[in-house]
Amino acid sequence: MMDVQQIIKRYELAQRRKDNWRQIYEDCYEFALPQRNLYDGNYEGGGSPGQNKMARVFDSTAINSTQRFANRIQSGLFPPYSNWCRLEPGTDIPEARRLEAQSALDIYAEKMFALLRQTNFDLAMGEFLMDLAVGTAVMLIQPGDEITPIRFTAVPQYLVAIEEGAHGKVDNIYRRMRMKAEAIKQHWSDAEISERLQRLIDEHPTSEIDLMEATMYDPEQGDYCYYVIWPEGKDQLLMRRMKSSPWVVARYMKVAGEVYGRGPLVTAIPDIKTLNKTLELLLKNASISIAGVYTAADDGVLNPQAVSIRPGAIIPVARNGGPNGESLRPLPRTGDFNVSQIVINDLRMNIKKIMMDDTLPPDNMSARSATEVSAKMQELSTNLGSAFGRLINETMIPLISRILYVMDERGLIEMPLKVNGLEVKVTPVSPIAQAQNLGDIEKIMQWVQLSSSLGPDGQLAVRTTAIPDYVADKLGIPADLRTSPQERQQAAEMAAQMAQAAAQQQGMLPAQGGQMPPEGAGLPPEGAI
């Protein structure tokens, strides 16, 4: 355990490290995610609710591509109203108990997904993945009430500072939060309110107070310490010990030595800013071309301070060509719209390519067959690259582990096993994973066909009894829909016995005991013919 001063110092240090990312993250949010932008004073009070956060945005390509990026990842990994993962027994479960464990885990998985459909999970996951496009996404998972047993909150990364522990895992999370003074006791009923804070609550109940949450891993105890602190008064309002962290922190891609992630928007931000500036200048040039800028003869001396280059402007000059030029003449237009359009189209294509917004099928078509859908998912999986594995390890597995823990804590299930890969492992069965699995199944079936064409030696090389289980595992078929190896063995023995009995009835096989019928048996008696 730490005292308040130590926690505040660690938070301030983590916040200073994060300030190194401020400029690049702020640009990403300003031009691609303005609706979730809390930078530039939007959180500290410099902005107001409902303000226009798109004042400097002239092109919506990055905004649309970011939304589509989040939608593609969600439909590929966490599709709504679908079971996008499977719980399977780990290597520590004995072989004799694996089928029993699998049946129980299938029931838990069905309960879990039925519960998720009653919560705001899909909405929070969409916001979470949009933050992931920047580089770092944060999800808060807390127990709810009887109506909504679990609550999911996609916390904007602007409010969060993180620290890594061993093996690159995020152990400590600090969050800034702001709430009304009167709501503190409602939010944390067991909070210890100091006299100074209580006086503030009594005198100004509707005033907003800045608080800090700190969730810190304790390696000695193997659990987490949860603190609520009032930094202004340096008061500790709450301290709890938790066996499971309520936070899920995901990084799209991480460079060695860095804590925060780099998403596709970080790569695309130079093109995004260039496109935005090019379109801004093009629009200004277009407005000048439409309204025109004129020069007017003036007998006085030209004052450069009075000159304004804007649509419809009139610039006073000494003369308009020659000693007796026209009184009013348009200023020649500059800029080549055709060249600008070519540059804009190239920049838009680059942005869409980086954001994986150019995958098949085209925008004017939809996937028409299962083959096209599979090809679409395989292309998305290829484009994700190493980010796919990080999404599984830093998002899906911690997410499932936390959800099952909350369900067990609330008495919805009895989960004696841990989701650690050894006791229980999480296997994705989402469309992206299924596309990869279908590719594996195709290879196996091609090998089986090729082996069959090689004659008896090739057929002997194939363990046909193991293929159904392999295919069923790849397709994510529940255990209660599959027969066990023992059941299949019993069925094969019963079929052999039935075939033998049928043959005996037809007189095609020796009788029981292996004795041949006596000589002349079955022949007509003498004189019958």
- Give the model's pLDDT for residue 78: 93
**For residues 280 and 435, what is the distance between their CA atoms, to the nearest angstrom?**
42
99-108, 253-262, 382-391: segment of lowest average pLDDT: 382-391
pLDDT: which is higher, 517 or 145? 145
- In 415-478, DSSP assigns E strands to 424-428
- Give the model's pLDDT for residue 263: 94
- Give the model's pLDDT for residue 527: 46
**Residue that the structure tokens 């492992």 belong to:** 425
- Give the model's pLDDT for residue 256: 87
- Give the model's pLDDT for residue 425: 92
- Give the model's pLDDT for residue 430: 81
| Mean pLDDT across 135-155 | 92
> Is residue 296's pLDDT more than 80?
no
pLDDT: which is higher, 328 or 47? 328
> Is residue 521's pLDDT more than 60?
no
| Mean pLDDT across 64-74 | 93
Digit-coded pLDDT (tens) for 469-520: 777 777 767 666 777 777 777 888 888 888 888 888 876 555 555 555 555 5
Percent of the chain with pLDDT over 70: 80
Q: Which residues contact 379 (CB under 8 A, 6 or more apart)?
A: 359, 360
* Residues 424, 430, 436: CA angle, nearest 5 degrees: 95
- Give the model's pLDDT for residue 460: 78
**For residues 391 and 73, what is the distance between their CA atoms, to the nearest angstrom?**
10
Contact 227, 7 (CB under 8 A): yes
Digit-coded pLDDT (tens) for 210-244: 999 999 999 988 899 999 999 988 899 999 999 99
Burial class (CB in 10 A: 0-12, 13-18, 19+), 29: buried
| Mean pLDDT across 390-396 | 92
> Is residue 298's pLDDT more than 80?
no
- Give the model's pLDDT for residue 365: 55
- Give the model's pLDDT for residue 528: 45
Digit-coded pLDDT (tens) for 156-197: 999 999 999 888 889 999 999 989 999 998 888 888 998 999
Digit-coded pLDDT (tens) for 335-360: 555 667 888 899 999 999 999 887 55
**For residues 115 and 102, what is the distance between their CA atoms, to the nearest angstrom?**
20
> Is residue 526's pLDDT more than 60?
no
- Give the model's pLDDT for residue 299: 55
Digit-coded pLDDT (tens) for 419-436: 888 899 998 888 777 777
- Give the model's pLDDT for residue 474: 72
Percent of the chain with pLDDT over 90: 40
- Give the model's pLDDT for residue 463: 79
| 3-state SS class at 229 | strand
Q: Which two tokens stand for residue 428?
A: 């994705």
> Is residue 529's pLDDT more than 50?
no
| Mean pLDDT across 26-54 | 80
Q: Which residues contact 357 (CB under 8 A, 6 or more apart)?
A: 64, 65, 68, 69, 351
